């Protein structure tokens, strides 16, 4: 057995980064440049803490972070080892850091992408081995694999409190595919479709491609504004769990008014359950679908909970509508990959997806707390109770300058501007903290806070 390696780590107590984050960064670099190689045994948390003269908690947190990212393996009774990442060993010479003005090498704080480096390698491989057991079929089931639909129904009962069965569920390739199937069944030339404004541009594009006239429906800090909704909409698309991009959570009274509007007009609400899995310091709110299954179609996806690369989502609706959509799906030769569905079924059946969600809730809550801590003092934040993004509200004139100066310093940002279909009423930065590491989120937000303070000192939320 290989003995543990001596680590020449140097930590700075003067740095703004926590000691645990510094240690994790040092170990990552050592594994990337070949200083630490696969199979290398690391010192115990007690030994390394004594060497560095820090608390054992510092080392434990660093190791836990690297376990979660897949850099380390633990062997019961044997210690902590550098994981075999199944990739060629990179050159030992660490390349010089690129200039910060190159955005592609910077810190990405745009919204829409999850953290994909933290997954259970063993569970992932096991799921794909199981997927290989599924034989090829000549005519895929347009509803999806029956076993996966059963597991999704159980998942939605546990995670969202929805009393649904397999007959309510059709397996899609994700939210975009679900939107197109809804449009195929419900829209067409001469119909009008309402989309939140500002809102998800893909919904506008998909509905328009099916011939519908797009009607911008204003939102405020709580979500879509029900008063004033047109009475001739065939479909209304909404994100009530965490409005994109403003971040509101639609309150119960407004949910009830929205459903009453749908019943009175005959409209179908397409509920994108975006970010419903990730909540911070707030109680869950019921899905619109659970309040009135007859008027709502719910769309969900694994793109944020696991990875966009998986390409599996779900459409939940009244069985008659689901059957209609399944029939139409055959006519356009649309399908979801069977082996991919089998892999997802295995992740659900063994509880691996639930365990992944629990890990990521903790990880995202840390990043969200860092954003609030660093940006809260310099601007008003909205939508920080859920999801993987929030809104930093700023005057319209300040936003372009902050984005450009941040880009020059290697921080990528997005604004509310491109998410509007009509007149822009609320201005600011859409801060995504899903795809950057905790250390990068902290670094990026420190730079951003400095730039905001230099361009504009907003009133504190309590003022």
Do 146 and 283 have their domain in common?
A: yes
Do 305 and 360 have their domain in common?
A: no
> Of 56, 79, 82, 54, which is closest to residue 67 (Cα–Cα)?
82
Its domain, for residue 405, covers: 105-112+354-455
| Domain boundary, last residue among 287, 319, 350 | 350
Residue 460 resides in a domain = no
Tokens of 191: 């119909």
Determine the Cα–Cα distance for residues 223 and 229; give it in Å rounded to an integer.
13
Determine the Cα–Cα distance for residues 383 and 131; give it in Å rounded to an integer.
38
Do 343 and 435 have their domain in common?
A: no
| Domain boundary, last residue among 350, 371, 404 | 350
Do 51 and 169 have their domain in common?
A: no
Do 299 and 324 have their domain in common?
A: yes
| Domain boundary, last residue among 331, 350, 369 | 350
**Can you give the CATH number for the domain in which 29 is found?**
1.10.10.10
Q: What is the pLDDT of residue 104?
A: 44
Query: What dihedral do alpha carbons 395, 400, 109, 422 form, nearest 10°?
Result: 70
Do 173 and 301 have their domain in common?
A: yes
Query: What angle separates helix 146-160 from helix 338-349, to the nearest 10 degrees?
Result: 40
Q: What is the pLDDT of residue 92?
A: 34
Residue 63 resides in a domain = yes
Is there a cis peptide before residue 198, judged by omega within 30 degrees of 0? yes
Rg of the chain taking only CA atoms, in angstroms: 24
Do 90 and 158 have their domain in common?
A: no
Determine the Cα–Cα distance for residues 334 and 343; give it in Å rounded to an integer.
20
Do 195 and 274 have their domain in common?
A: yes
- Tens of pLDDT, residue by residue over 152-172, are 999 999 888 899 999 999 999
Do 92 and 128 have their domain in common?
A: no
Looking at the structure of the chain, the number of domains it has is 3
Residue 164 resides in a domain = yes
**Can you give the CATH number for the domain in which 133 is found?**
3.40.640.10
Do 43 and 146 have their domain in common?
A: no
Q: What is the pLDDT of residue 352?
A: 94
Do 133 and 80 have their domain in common?
A: no
Do 397 and 446 have their domain in common?
A: yes
Contact present, 120 and 110 (Cβ < 8 Å): no
Show the beta-strand stretches assigned E in 198-287: 213-220, 223-224, 235-238, 268-272
Q: What is the pLDDT of residue 457?
A: 57
Residue 463 resides in a domain = no
Q: What is the pLDDT of residue 6?
A: 66
Residue 36 resides in a domain = yes
Residue 9 resides in a domain = no
Mean pLDDT by 10 residues, the chain (463 residues): 64 82 85 80 87 87 75 68 55 39 68 88 93 91 97 93 95 97 96 96 95 95 95 97 93 96 98 90 86 96 91 97 96 95 96 92 93 95 92 93 95 92 83 94 96 71 46
> Which 8-state DSSP code applies to residue 279?
B
Residue 5 resides in a domain = no
**Can you give the CATH number for the domain in which 426 is found?**
3.90.1150.10
pTM of the predicted protein model: 0.75
Query: What number of residues does the chain have?
Result: 463
Residue 249 resides in a domain = yes
Q: What is the pLDDT of residue 378?
A: 93
């Amino acid at each position: 057995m290989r003995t543990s390696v001596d680590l020449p780590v140097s930590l700075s107590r003067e740095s703004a980064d926590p000691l645990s984050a510094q240690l994790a960064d040092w170990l990552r670099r050592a594994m990337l440049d070949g200083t630490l190689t696969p199979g290398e045994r690391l010192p115990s948390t007690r030994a390394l803490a004594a060497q560095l003269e820090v608390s054992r908690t510092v080392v434990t947190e660093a190791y836990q972070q690297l376990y979660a990212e897949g850099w380390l393996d633990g062997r019961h009774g044997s210690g902590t080892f550098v994981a075999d990442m199944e990739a060629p060993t990179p050159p030992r010479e660490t390349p010089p850091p690129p200039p910060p003005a190159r955005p592609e090498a910077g810190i990405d704080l745009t919204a829409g992408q999850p953290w994909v480096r933290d997954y259970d390698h063993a569970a992932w491989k096991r799921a794909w081995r199981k997927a290989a057991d599924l034989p090829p079929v000549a005519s895929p089931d347009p509803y999806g694999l029956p076993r996966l639909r059963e597991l999704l129904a159980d998942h939605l009962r546990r995670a969202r409190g929805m009393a649904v069965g397999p007959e309510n569920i059709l397996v899609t390739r994700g939210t975009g595919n679900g939107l197109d199937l809804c449009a195929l069944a419900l829209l067409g030339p001469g119909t009008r479709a309402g989309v939140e404004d500002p809102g998800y541009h893909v919904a506008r594009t998909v509905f328009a491609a099916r011939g519908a006239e797009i009607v911008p429906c204003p939102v405020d800090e709580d979500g879509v504004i029900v008063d004033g909704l047109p009475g001739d909409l065939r479909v209304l698309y909404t994100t009530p769990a965490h409005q994109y991009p403003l971040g509101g959570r639609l309150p119960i009274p407004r949910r009830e008014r929205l459903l009453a509007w749908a019943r009175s007009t005959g409209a179908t609400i397409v509920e994108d359950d975006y970010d419903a899995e990730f909540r911070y310091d707030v109680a869950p709110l019921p899905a619109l679908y659970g309040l009135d299954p007859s008027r709502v179609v719910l769309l969900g996806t694994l793109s944020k909970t696991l990875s966009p690369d998986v390409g599996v989502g779900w459409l939940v609706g009244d069985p008659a509508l689901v059957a209609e959509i399944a029939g139409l799906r055959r006519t356009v030769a649309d399908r979801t990959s069977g082996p991919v569905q089998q892999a997802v079924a295995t992740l659900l059946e063994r509880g691996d997806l639930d365990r992944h969600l629990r890990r990521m809730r903790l990880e995202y809550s840390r990043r969200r707390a860092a954003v609030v801590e660093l940006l809260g003092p310099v601007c008003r934040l909205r939508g920080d109770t859920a999801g993987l993004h929030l809104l930093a509200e700023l005057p319209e004139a300040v936003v372009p300058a902050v984005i450009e100066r941040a880009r020059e310093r290697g921080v990528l940002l997005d604004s509310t501007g491109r998410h509007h279909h009509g007149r822009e009423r609320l201005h600011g930065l859409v801060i995504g903290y899903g795809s950057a590491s905790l250390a990068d989120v902290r670094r990026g937000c420190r730079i951003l806070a400095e730039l905001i303070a230099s361009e504009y000192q907003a009133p504190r939320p309590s003022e």
